[in-house]
Structure 1
Amino acid sequence: MLLSLILASFLWLSTASAFPTAASCDCTGTRNGGAESAPYICRDSRLGPRVLPRRLPLGTLMADYNRLGGLPPGAFLQKWTDEQGDYKYPPQNGFQLDERGNAINGTMLLEPETLVDRFGSEYGSFISAAAAPYSQRALPPSNLATNPDAPDFPFNYHVYRVLKPLPVVGGPIAPWFGQPGLGAQFYTGGVGNIMALIEKGYLKKEKASVLISKKGKGCA
């Protein structure tokens, strides 16, 4: 019960950082991908698209996002990538850790009609509460790059509706990649990746517009 209450609070958590510091655009230490990488910061796909989403619903998810955590591009990559230049991900599947280094998480069921989402391919096994701010997800900026094989999903963003009780491991997200984290994430690996969950009838794809309120203006 206590874990459920904690996780419920994470679903609505709003990050407190209001005025992020702009990072330098010095591209020293980045990897220029040439003309095909022109849409990305410093032409380096690891740094994500130069232009972030502005329209609803994605624009609201970016409201407090400080892409590089106040660092110049090269310093950001030096801190968060390995010797091969690939991003280093946090331990324990990215869950927040307690004082003993144990992941704070628990098994639970996502109920039918719950909306969840994901920035990334459908072959991954992590989803979040729909419309949670990007900064609370502690993802690298590269997850915002539109997949050329899936152009109908700008910024690699996917929304799903739960169709039947879905067993997951859920918990708060650890700060990483210069982001505060502390949103809620759900690991589906025990049942399958996202594509498998769709095939098994657990999830149904939805348009991102389902997150935009359709309520009228009432008497105003």
Structure 2
Amino acid sequence: MYRSFKRTMNAAKKPKKIANRISKRCFRNKTTTISAKILVSGGVNKEKHGLNRLPPEVKNIIYKALPLNADRACLALTCKDQAAAYEALKTEKNKKGYDHIVPKRLTEIHRLQLLVRLKVDMPRSHRLCYSCVQFIDIKDPDNAGQWGGSEVRVSGGKATKQAMIEGPRCPLCISAKQLENAKHKDTYKKYLALADKVDLKK
């Protein structure tokens, strides 16, 4: 009975993922946050690094001069010392002193900017989908299939709205797009109704 239940749940996972892409419910955009547990645990491995030895006010100037939130987050992820400086700057409510505008609301583009910078550090089993803006485990059977889009069109770290259209798209996003193109058909409505009935969180 357990095996039968497991097969049923596995069969429902893929339609649910596709339905989430149609409904744009894959994730929530929010500012990168470094856990307090990470900041207080252990020591700083790169304590003698020149960048870490700078006074706090100089570190703040460097962070404020970076063009994007993604750049600030990536610098923060290099070590605990930089993470602490990054988190400390979040307390500034007026954002004065920044060389570049700090967005008040995060969008899919901001998320893509960060993920594009993290691509080189991700394992080969995960590939970035520019459509749903997340790393896809290509070894997962649910994600099997032909990818769309072009890596060449987004070379050089391109992370724009156009890149989301031209960049690599996972098989699930391709399936979701095909269903969206058939909205006038009853199949589309029945598919969403069936997929939304499955709640994998319960």
TM-score with structure 1 length normalisation? 0.27
Higher strand share: 1
Higher helix share: 2
